[in-house]
Amino acid sequence: MTALTVVLAVLAALPFIMFGLAKVTGRLGMPERAAHLGFTEAAYRRIGVLEILGAAGLLVGLAFPLIGVAAGGCLLVLVLSGAVLHLRSGDGPKGAAPALVAAMLVVLYGIVGASI
């Protein structure tokens, strides 16, 4: 494991932890965002829990690489699904940008982690 792997894992995990906690706690206008995307608050909270668990998996993956790869793959599917939902709901590229940035971090983490 290299320092780059650690940095990418942490950078990739941070947005998922931040947005996941916001969804779980209902902060930062998340109830309105849930309604805008067609989710109930309960469903949006479950998505937040999945984001937090995926981020934890990325960090655990620093010690157990297979867990990190599995968590990264699950997060990638989750975040790209979110980007598509934002685009379909009329948010445009600006609404999907956070999801796409997070997806790029997860992909970079996977590439660097797999090359070791």
At 57-116, the pLDDT tens digits run 889 988 888 888 888 888 888 888 888 888 888 888 888 888 888 888 888 888 887 665
pLDDT over 70 at 23, yes or no: yes
**What is the rounded distance in angstroms from the CA atom of residue 58 to the CA atom of residue 23?**
19
**What is the rounded distance in angstroms from the CA atom of residue 68 to the CA atom of residue 72?**
6
Dihedral over Cα of 4, 108, 102, 65: its sign: negative
pTM tops 0.95, yes or no: no
**What is the rounded distance in angstroms from the CA atom of residue 59 to the CA atom of residue 52?**
11
**CA distances, 75 to each of 32, 35, 67 (Å):** 23, 22, 12
